[in-house]
Amino acid sequence: MTRQAEIIRWLVTSHLAIPLRHGRGFFVLRGPRVRLADGTLLDALDWLQAEGFGAGLMLDGYHVAYTPPGGEYAEKLTFFEMQTVYDAPFSKLRPNHAAALLAALRGDSPH
């Protein structure tokens, strides 16, 4: 098990994890502090971000989203339980194919 997976499993049972209303995940707000095993005190959000948690991370059955400060909602990391995943028999586009596809969709002429 990776360190991030261990952290998620700990978070789920911790007081830091605030359950989502619909019950399919949780979020962690900026503000609460954690004390690491070596005695270091950190803001929970700073610690999670330093551990590599951020928007787009998919791990241990969760998809992570980041809400920045200053908007309608408080700054937080939200851990959504992943819905069903469907296998597609395709590989990821290579960067040049993706760029060509975007250019074609925009109506740009190839250079």
Half-sphere exposure of 57 (CA within 13 A, CB side): 18
pLDDT tens-digit map of 33-56: 999 999 999 999 999 999 999 999
Q: How far apart are CA 108 and CA 97, in angstroms?
A: 14
- Residues 17 and 33: beta-carbon distance below 8 Å: no
Report pTM.
Answer: 0.73
- DSSP 8-class letter at 29: E
pLDDT tens-digit map of 71-102: 889 999 999 998 877 888 988 766 666 677 77
